[in-house]
């Protein structure tokens, strides 16, 4: 009881001092935003479900740039592409930092390159990652992408359980990155490594929603016991932490042991370790080098396995709801590829409608609706308003990708919006410029992700017809009713049935191989 009373006293004191400091420090006008409460500010205003939609509604009242005070932690929401590019791109020298996160540390995701503060350590990690996944290097992974896309076709052909479709989709991208990162072959949708990637990223997605956990703003709360009333975050992070640790360490440790035993095969991780060994002249990695290699390998595995999966699942759902679009895509595939083979990467430039479907899949159900938060490193003035040093800056990608000016009828899946005169229309804003982040923190794995998504879409539509499942009342399932609401937004269920388009398509699938 004494511990609880002391914690409450400390909390009240901490809140008051932070509120007083912020109250007396601001002289220039802050951007407009909802009125908060003394001391705790807007914490009680923060939505726990689909916050991006609430932020978008706020923009209609307060403008594109909305200011929140989350227990004296200044937070700025950017709801337009213009404000995001003006600040996160054009002023990236001061907007490339990441906020320090207590829950990220508690769940053991602080090794994640995408969440690291802007620092020499982050630059070293980014440099190593970029070396393997830049635009020039990614084409060498195309045989793996083709192999796994076609393996998915065979699994879908042999599966009679549509409840497994979402897992089959996840299998594609987890298998691609595990082969690249660790030279591991995954043949079962229930493989341990598929499950680890899914659960680890789910844990991060759940705990990182803005305003969801007060420990983020009052770090000393992490010392409260797990049983403390209302302190769900500690139980959540304690559950996911060992999963994250296993996901990061288990495959890397296996590669290290294989190298030691002289039986390692080529992979990203093997290359990283051996190059560092040559550089240091020692077979034993220094702690710094080992951490770097372990982190780069781990984040390539985790990030690629989840975000691309979400986009592919959205594509499946869209095709089941828009049969005319599916038919147009199949007509293009018949014209370009023909009935006697499967599509490959050489067909990319001629499959304009397939490219447009991939773009729309990234826009329609936004994978990272709030992106990954930035932190401004010095006071800044934008449109006459102060953005204080240390502010968390959230780019509401959902609002930008559903802007009716850039994308008329934004809730409609409409690939035609990107096409003019048979080519991709450069006058339409490319959703990839918004979906993968901004400035120096743009996702370095985007080239691998878009290539994998394109090949999966082309392969599936060439061989299968996708139809919706129906509920007990005979109505088509609402795909937006089961979207998981977290930092990563994805369908909880893929209510679709895939059937081969013809006997010839079935034969192509059965004979497919690389």
C-alpha–C-alpha distance, residues 403 and 453, integer Å: 24
418 or 19: which leads in pLDDT = 418
Q: According to the model, what pLDDT value does residue 194 have?
A: 82
Q: How many Å apart are CA 239 and CA 233, to the nearest integer?
A: 10
Rounded to the nearest angstrom, the gap between the alpha carbon of residue 447 and the centroid of all alpha carbons in its chain is 14
d(CA 6, CA 10): 6
Indicate the pLDDT class of residue 481, thresholds 50, 70 and 90. Answer: low
Residue 508 has pLDDT above 90, yes or no: yes
Alpha carbon distances (Å) from 470 to 121, 123, 319, 497, 498? 50, 49, 15, 10, 14
* Cβ pair 80, 55 in contact under 8 A: no
pLDDT at 461: 98
pLDDT of residue 3: 45
Closest CA to 300 of 448, 191, 410: 448
Task: Report yes or no: 428 and 355 within 8 Å, Cβ to Cβ.
Answer: no
Q: What is the mean pLDDT of residues 27-53?
A: 87
Q: pLDDT band at residue 295, thresholds of 50, 70 and 90? A: very high
Locus of tokens 């440099």: 127
The residue ranges of every structural domain in the chain are: 2-511
Kindly state the percentage of the chain with pLDDT values over 90.
65
Task: Give pTM, 2 decimals.
Answer: 0.91
Instruction: Provide the token pair at 506.
Output: 């079935």
pLDDT at position 189, please?
75
The answer to whether the CB of 491 falls within 8 A of the CB of 314 is yes
CA–CA dist 90, 343 (Å, integer): 39
pLDDT in tens, 347-358: 999 999 999 999
Both tokens assigned to 126: 């980014």
pLDDT tens-digit readout, 144-184: 999 999 999 998 888 765 566 888 888 899 899 999 999 99
- Between 225 and 456, residue with greater pLDDT: 456
Query: What's the pLDDT tens digit per position in 208-264?
Result: 877 667 777 777 777 777 776 556 788 889 999 999 999 999 999 999 999 989 999
Please compute the mean of the pLDDT values over residues 481-505 and round it to a whole number.
Answer: 81
- Average pLDDT, integer, range 79-102: 96
In angstroms, rounded to a whole number, what is the distance separating the alpha carbons of residues 196 and 445?
20
SS3 of 150-181: HHHHHHHHHCCCHHHHHHHHHHHHHHHHHHHH
Q: How many CA atoms lie within 13 A of 44 on its CB side?
A: 7
Confirm or deny that 496 is annotated as ligand binding.
no
- For domain 2-511, the question of CATH label 2.20.25.90 is answered with no
Which tokens is 206 given?
């759940």
């Amino acid at each position: 009881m004494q511990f609880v009373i002391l914690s409450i006293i400390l909390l009240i004191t901490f809140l008051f001092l932070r509120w007083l400091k912020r109250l007396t420090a601001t002289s220039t006008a802050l951007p407009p935003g909802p009125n908060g409460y003394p001391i705790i500010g807007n914490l009680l205003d923060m939505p726990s479900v689909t916050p991006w939609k609430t932020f978008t509604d706020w923009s209609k009242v307060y403008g594109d740039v909305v200011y929140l005070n989350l227990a004296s932690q200044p937070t700025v929401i950017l709801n337009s592409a213009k404000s995001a590019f003006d600040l996160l791109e054009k002023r990236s020298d001061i907007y490339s930092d990441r906020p320090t996160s207590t829950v990220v540390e508690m769940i053991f995701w602080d090794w994640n390159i995408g969440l690291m503060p802007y620092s020499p350590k982050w630059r070293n990690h980014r440099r190593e990652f970029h070396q393997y996944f830049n635009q020039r290097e990614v084409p060498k992974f195309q045989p793996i992408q083709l192999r796994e896309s076609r393996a998915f076709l065979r699994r879908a052909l042999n599966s009679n359980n549509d409840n497994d479709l979402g897992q089959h989709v996840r299998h594609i991208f987890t298998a691609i990155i595990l082969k690249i990162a660790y030279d591991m072959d995954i043949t079962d949708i229930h493989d341990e490594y598929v499950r680890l990637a899914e659960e680890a990223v789910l844990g991060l997605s759940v705990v990182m929603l803005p305003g969801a956990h007060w420990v983020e703003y009052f770090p000393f709360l992490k010392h409260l016991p797990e049983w403390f009333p209302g302190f769900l975050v500690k139980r959540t992070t304690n559950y996911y932490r060992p999963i994250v640790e296993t996901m990061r360490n288990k495959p890397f440790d296996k590669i290290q042991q294989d190298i030691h035993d002289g039986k390692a095969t080529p992979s990203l991780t093997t290359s990283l370790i051996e190059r560092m060994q040559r550089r240091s002249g020692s077979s034993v990695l220094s702690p710094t080098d080992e951490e770097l290699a372990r982190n780069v390998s781990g984040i390539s595995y985790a990030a690629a396995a989840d975000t691309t999966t979400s986009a592919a699942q959205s594509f499946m759902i869209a095709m089941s709801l828009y049969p005319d679009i599916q038919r147009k895509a199949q007509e293009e595939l018949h014209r370009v590829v023909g009935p006697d083979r499967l599509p490959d990467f050489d067909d990319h430039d001629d499959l304009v409608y397939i490219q447009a479907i991939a773009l729309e899949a990234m826009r329609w159900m936004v994978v990272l609706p709030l992106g990954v938060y930035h932190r401004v490193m010095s006071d800044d003035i934008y449109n006459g308003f102060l953005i204080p040093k240390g502010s968390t800056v959230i780019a509401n990608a959902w609002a930008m990708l559903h802007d009716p000016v850039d994308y008329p009828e934004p809730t409609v899946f409409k690939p035609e919006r990107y096409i003019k005169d048979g080519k991709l229309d450069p006058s339409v804003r490319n959703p990839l410029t918004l979906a993968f982040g901004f400035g120096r923190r743009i996702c370095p794995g985007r080239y691998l992700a878009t290539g994998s998504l394109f090949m999966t879409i082309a392969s599936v539509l060439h061989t299968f017809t996708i139809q919706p499942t129906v509920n007990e009342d005979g109505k088509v399932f609402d795909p937006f009713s089961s979207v998981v609401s977290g930092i990563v937004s994805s369908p909880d269920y893929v209510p679709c049935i895939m059937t081969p388009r013809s006997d010839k398509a079935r034969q192509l699938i059965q004979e497919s191989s690389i």
